Amino acid sequence: MDITEEFEFKPITEGLGFHKKQVSLKEETKKAQEHVIKTSKPVLESEDLHKVRQPAQAQSVRDLISSFPALDGLDYVEEENKQQVQMKEALPRKDLTSSQLHTQQVLKHKDPELKINPEVFQRKLDMLDVQPLIPEIKKQEVVEDKKLSEKKRVIDLVAKAPTIGTYLIDAFTIIGLTNVFMAALLLVTGVDVVFILMHPQSDILTKISVGVVLFSVWMFYLLISRTFFSKTLGEWATDYQLGTDMQTLQMSYPLRVAMRAFVNTITGIVILPLLSVLTGKDIVGSLCGIKLHKKVETWQ
C-alpha cells in the first residue's frame, strides 16, 4: 500500500454512525442558512399583529390543559356565593324639614312662665354690682395723693428738754477726750502713772491737775461744738439744737453759750440737767435765755 494514498477507518458494526454519508462543511452551513430563512417569521402589517401565530410550545400547553377534566364543583361554589350576596333596599330616613317643623312647634307651645323676666334679672345684678365702689376708692386715693403732693415738708424747731441719751453721749465723748489729753500731758511731764495709781492720796496736786484737765476738756467741747455747730454730738444724734436759727446768727450767741455753760457748772454740772430731764423743761435755758430746741417735721 502506498503511503500517499488516503485510507479510512470503518467500524465493524453500523451502530456508531460512521456509516452515514460524509458531508462537507460548506454544504452543512448552506443547509442551515436555508432552514433559518424558511423558519423566520414574516414581517406583518400593524393591523395583523393580533393575528400573530403563537409558537408550538404554547399551543401544546393549551392542548394539555384542555385535556384535563373540568372542575365543575368549584364553579358551583362560586355560583352559590354569587347568589348569597344580595343588595337590600336603603333604610327609611326621616325628612329633615319635618323634624325642623316639629321642633319649631314644640318651642311655640312652651310655657311662657319659663321666660326670664329682664326686670328681676336687672334688679339682682344691681344688688350684686360692686363696680361703682371702685371708682370712688380710686378718686379718694387720687385726692389724697394730690393733697400730699400739694403739701410741703416743713421742719420746725420746738423748745423741749433734752433726753438722758443726749447727756450720756456727751459724757462718754468728754471722758474719751480727757483720757487723750491726760495721756499727752503725762507723756510730756514724765509723771509716773503707776505711782499715782498705787498712792492716790499722796499727791494732791496730781488730783487737782486731773480735775483741771477734765473741766477744760468739757468746757472746750461745749463751747466749740455749740458755738460753731449750734449742737454737741449728743444733741446732733437726737435732733436737738441750742437756740433757734435766728439766735444762732446773732453776735451774742457765743456769749449766751458760755453763760449757759457757766450756770450749769456753778450749780453742780449734773443737778440742773437731771432736773430738766425729770420735769421735761429746760431749766438752764430758762435761766440763761437760750433753750434747747428739737427738730419736728410737719406737712403744710
C-alpha cell belonging to residue 101: 317643623
pLDDT of residue 79: 55
> Angle, to 10 degrees, between the axis of helix 164-189 and the axis of helix 204-229?
130
Q: Which amino acid is at 121?
A: F
C-alpha cell belonging to residue 223: 463751747
Series of mean pLDDT values for 10-residue runs along the chain (300 residues): 57 55 63 61 50 59 70 54 58 57 60 57 56 55 63 81 90 91 83 71 74 89 93 93 90 92 87 89 89 84
Residue 231 burial by Cβ neighbours in a 10 Å radius (0-12, 13-18, 19+): buried
pTM above 0.75, yes or no: no
Give dist(CA 81, CA 297) in Å, integer: 111
Rounded to the nearest angstrom, the gap between the alpha carbon of residue 86 and the centroid of all alpha carbons in its chain is 70
Where along the chain do its domains lie? 155-299
Give dist(CA 240, CA 161) in Å, integer: 9
pLDDT of residue 296: 86
Helix (H) or strand (E) holding 297, with range, is strand 292-299
Give dist(CA 275, CA 32) in Å, integer: 159
Give dist(CA 256, CA 243) in Å, integer: 10
Q: Give the alpha-carbon dihedral of 281, 283, 284, 289, to 10 degrees.
A: 90
Q: What is the DSSP letter of 294?
A: E
**Selection from 253, 270, 294 nearest residue 174 by Cα:** 270
